A = this chain, B = another copy of it.
């Protein structure tokens, strides 16, 4: 008999059928009630064991974490909290789980303990829910772009180009540390390396993505990116997934429209398709916040917060306006900020972004037209000669979730900028070809996928929304 997924059993329209379910025991109460989960849903199906006619030997093996196959009749449940249950006629233990040794007990574990057991934490309600939501959000990303005719582009992970300067890079090599091949002048001879040159892990697929946008019109990437930065924070990973759309003929306004519409689409998709998981995560968050002082608790519950983002436009504010707001703000005047905002041109810190989003506007904010000298070389210079068509989207509790810009499409202006910043033109000659041949206005942005998952799940540490986090000092599994 073919087994049926727990999700399908719970959504069944008929009862009194003979069914088989396979899954893992979450709890076993009174020698009678198994809460069985198979990962297809956060909900368990209750399996009622006829303990009087089940060998003592078998009953003993029904422990938390054991894999079992249960055959019986699907009936309406008399107990509270579930519509259906299985009246078990046959139970088979597929794989035991020694109750003394299984690390994931039904008691509450700390998130830190679970991180150390990332291969098992997904067997808990919370991490099962997070990973299902993450998966559904991924599909929402692809669905959004594919429905609109964007071409998915797999930009390279190993890159021979380190010119973008988005961050510190990891070296990729097949050379040995011992007896490393050297050139005559004693330098490492990368010609002997696998690719015949120095290579690193990508920090962004944008530059390669631009070359494709200038042929296919609308493209997006969605792949892993890397930072070799010693940022031991709850918002940074050394390996994370990034989404980077790039659209020919889009200017900065189009770019903001796209980013806002995209984010609202994927959040709505999660609300429509992960209801049970999000409800559970909302409860988890409420529970967690009980231990915090009132002032540190969220103003909105999780689902309310997600719906708020759908129903309200993101506030669009120029950098210059933002500086005025910050300069006049109470924390600035009372010197509560670590970095006091004195003048136009200052780079915004996380504390300023959070003030704007969480205290001042109380909604997602798009900041645009930043000073040229705090932004990347490829951003389009405005007519004022001092700002660039950059935009950052700031989210409550998360900070920056999107960074993007209209690109500098004018060859001469771009070259001048590169010269000023001493960026090697030769190295980026292929990139400059997009401006040499059929250049046009185009724009794009990058969205850190894990920050989106953080926001949607209500978790607070980025290590908890990726299966196996990579951070300074940790690359387990």
A434 closest partner in B (C-beta): B119
A121 closest partner in B (C-beta): B215
A420 within 8 A of B: no
* CB atoms of B228 and A194 under 8 A apart: yes
A7 closest partner in B (C-beta): B149
Binds B, one of A92-100, A282-290, A304-312, A331-339: A92-100
Binds B, one of A74-82, A172-180, A368-376, A396-404: A172-180
What is the CB-to-nearest-CB distance from A301 to chain B, in angstroms, rounded to a whole number? 25
* CB atoms of B173 and A170 under 8 A apart: yes
* CB atoms of B139 and A470 under 8 A apart: no
What is the CB-to-nearest-CB distance from A386 to chain B, in angstroms, rounded to a whole number? 25
Q: Known contacts A128-B216, A151-B39: does B475 contact A156 (CB below 8 Å)?
A: yes
| Residues of chain B contacted by A473 (CB below 8 angstroms) | 194-196
Choose among B95, B170, B476 the residue that contacts A172 (Cβ–Cβ < 8 A). Answer: B170
Q: Known contacts A101-B436, A120-B211: does B249 contact A195 (CB below 8 Å)?
A: no
| Residues of chain B contacted by A102 (CB below 8 angstroms) | 437
* CB atoms of A5 and B122 under 8 A apart: no
* CB atoms of A158 and B119 under 8 A apart: no
CB within 8 Å of B: which residues of A?
Answer: 3, 5, 7, 22-25, 38-40, 65-67, 94-98, 101-102, 119-120, 122-123, 128, 131-132, 134-136, 138-139, 142-143, 146, 149-161, 168, 170-175, 177-178, 180, 188, 194-197, 199, 201, 208, 211-212, 214-218, 223-224, 226, 228, 230, 238-239, 241, 248-249, 409, 430-431, 433-441, 466-468, 470, 472-477
